[in-house]
Amino acid sequence: MDDLLDALARLSDRLEHLERRVCALERSSAVPASLPTSVAAPAPGTTAAEESALPQAGGMFPVVGKAMLGIAGAYLLRAVAESSIFPQSVVVALALAYAGMWLLWAARVKANSPFAGAAYAITSALILAPMLWELTLRFKVLPASVTAGVLSVFVVGASALTWKRNLAPVIWVANFAAVFTALALMIATHALLPFIAALLIMALASEFAADHNRWLRLRFLVAPAADLAVWILIYIYSLPESARLEYATVQNAALLTLASALFLIYGVSVTLRTVWLHHRITIFEIVQTIIAFLLAAFSWLWFAPAVRDDLGIFCLLFSAACYVAAFVRFDHLPEQRNYYVYSTWSAVLLVTGTFLCLPPLLLALLLSVAAMVATWVGVRTARLTLEYHGLLYLAAAALASGLLEYAVRALAGTFPNAPGWMVWIVAASALVCYAVGGRFPGDRWNQRLLRLLSAILAVSAAATLLVSALVWLAAVGMTPGASHVAVIRTLITCALALTLAFSGSRWQRVELVWTAYAILAFVTAKLLFQDLPNGHSGSIAVSIFLYAVALILVPRMARMAPQRSRTEGPSKSS
């Protein structure tokens, strides 16, 4: 014991000696600057860069020296803790206060000394992070909840201390150390909840700062860490209980609360910044909000499947709120990113909500009506976005009603039985949507793409109806086999290709011409992979004949309108 006290006394004397030398160096460098001396000419071999670097180095070394003193003090506290001279609670309190003192010192440096502030903040982090690791894992003094609370207080305290003077280096060092310490301890201790809660507090602090235009890039550090932690939580507790014996039992309410809090933090922040503060939504905010929503939705569906209908209702309400924000708040602004993002979110949420809380028949009917309404309103108000929404609703209705599956089997696979009445309603809705939405003017790429996709859906529905009707008519007088169905399919598709090519050239609807060529490609694949391997000679001959006629006539019909306009133009002008 006497040897230990002597060693501590000698170490204290050496620290005091080093402090006196550092203070003497600072006074000697400050006195010449205060006296009105003449500027000495630089030495002949000294460049301007070297001349400017010398004062910086002179101010840097004392700062590094003080930081090393701080590290030495941390090792001194560690030695005291290992010697068990004082109670562990006293040593822990002294160590935490010591790390906080260096953080306070970092926040109180002069505004023109960013290096000193960063150095003292790094010193504080290098003291705190290893100390918390040993106190939590090695000495077992601090429980995981207390350690997570210390990390939260460290970040919040750094934000409060640096807020007024906007000291970015200090807050970056504090968040970097706290985030990675929390992730490491979460994995090492298997105590997920307290450290995820600490990361969420850090995320809340960073979003609060971002809402006040402070340290916006700090979110690129905190948000991915919070996402990763919540994903680990969901993954671990979605495993069977026998596969996670090292982890404590957690109530589903706690799991749902943490995942929902992540979405709430970023959802409220993005809404506040875009709707209230009129900021343009960033790519980071779009991606982060989607990730947070997916994590929250998956956690609710996995850990509380009974609330599936409630989640669907929430999605529908959220969809309505996004529609209101898009068309009331953002539609008139010159910058349209917020409008497009919120309107897209509203459409996706509407589809998601209906799939979650509605039965299949009502789901298909509602989506069909929504598709026709969105298409009609889009044409009347010249909003291309609403027409795209109508296309999305129509595709979702086709999936929900079974029209897509029925169309694939009717046009290419084993011919199915008669479908339900909802299939025909959705098919009719596809034809109505194209008839209404195809009149949207404009030749921009997004307008042409909309008409093309709408035409493909409508033509697929029409082909399904015609093939089914002709097969049923043939079944009145005979039992149609696979070869008969193959010929009927080729006849209907080739006839549709000719009709579309003529209609597109006659009324200048280029999307119909493109769809006609797409049908020819479909017939080509059908002949190669279905008719030739499985058909017999008679049906193959008829199918090839119909295909050849379509190949000859479709290009001619597609060129009819341009030739007529060139021949009629001079006669009208004369």
| Domain ranges across the chain | 483-561
What mean pLDDT is predicted for residues 206-226?
A: 96
Residues 536, 40: Cα–Cα separation, whole Å: 105
Output the average pLDDT for the chain.
Answer: 86
**pLDDT of 293-311, one tens digit each?**
999 999 999 999 999 999 9
Residues 6+ apart with CB under 8 A from 158: 103, 107, 121, 170, 171, 174, 175
Residues 203, 535: Cα–Cα separation, whole Å: 64
Residues 267, 175: Cα–Cα separation, whole Å: 22
**pLDDT of 89-133, one tens digit each?**
888 898 899 999 999 999 988 777 788 889 999 999 999 999 999
Decide if 404 contacts 398 (C-beta within 8 A).
yes
Residues 180, 169: Cα–Cα separation, whole Å: 17
Cα 294 to the center of its chain, rounded Å: 9
Please name the amino acid found at residue 181: T
- The interaxial angle of helices 219-238 and 283-303, nearest 10 deg, is 20
pTM for the full predicted model = 0.82
- Closest alpha carbon to 392 in 356, 437, 422, 331: 437
Does the structure show a pLDDT above 50 at 278?
yes
Count CB atoms within 10 A of the CB of residue 177: 23
- Closest alpha carbon to 207 in 226, 187, 235: 226
Residues 412, 322: Cα–Cα separation, whole Å: 40
Which range scores top for mean pLDDT: 15-19, 147-151, 399-403?
A: 147-151
Q: Which two tokens stand for residue 227?
A: 């996402």
The pLDDT score that the predictor gives to residue 322 is 96
The pLDDT score that the predictor gives to residue 346 is 97
Decide if 132 contacts 142 (C-beta within 8 A).
yes
The pLDDT score that the predictor gives to residue 539 is 86
The pLDDT score that the predictor gives to residue 74 is 79
Cα 447 to the center of its chain, rounded Å: 27
Residues 171, 180: Cα–Cα separation, whole Å: 14
Residues 6+ apart with CB under 8 A from 375: 386, 387, 390, 391, 433, 436, 437
**pLDDT of 462-490, one tens digit each?**
999 899 989 888 887 777 788 888 899 99
Instruction: Please state which of the ranges 70-84, 112-126, 315-329, 382-396 shows the lowest mean pLDDT.
Output: 70-84
For the chain, the maximum distance between any two Cα atoms, rounded to a whole number of angstroms, is 120
Q: Say how many Å lie between the first and final Cα of the chain, rounded.
A: 118
| Distances, alpha carbon 45 to alpha carbons 41, 42, 48, in Å | 11, 8, 10
Decide if 251 contacts 299 (C-beta within 8 A).
no
The pLDDT score that the predictor gives to residue 357 is 94
**pLDDT of 510-557, one tens digit each?**
889 999 999 999 999 989 888 888 777 888 899 999 999 999 999 998
- Three-state DSSP class for residue 142: coil
Q: Which two tokens stand for residue 197?
A: 């809660």
Residues 380, 290: Cα–Cα separation, whole Å: 31
The pLDDT score that the predictor gives to residue 544 is 92
The pLDDT score that the predictor gives to residue 440 is 62
**pLDDT of 25-61, one tens digit each?**
555 544 444 444 444 444 444 444 443 343 444 468 7
Per cent of the chain over pLDDT 70 is: 86
Residues 196, 261: Cα–Cα separation, whole Å: 11
What mean pLDDT is predicted for residues 233-238?
A: 96
Q: Which of the 8 DSSP states describes residue 410?
A: H
The pLDDT score that the predictor gives to residue 12 is 59
The pLDDT score that the predictor gives to residue 18 is 61
Does the structure show a pLDDT above 60 at 80?
yes
Residues 455, 434: Cα–Cα separation, whole Å: 6
Does the structure show a pLDDT above 60 at 15?
no
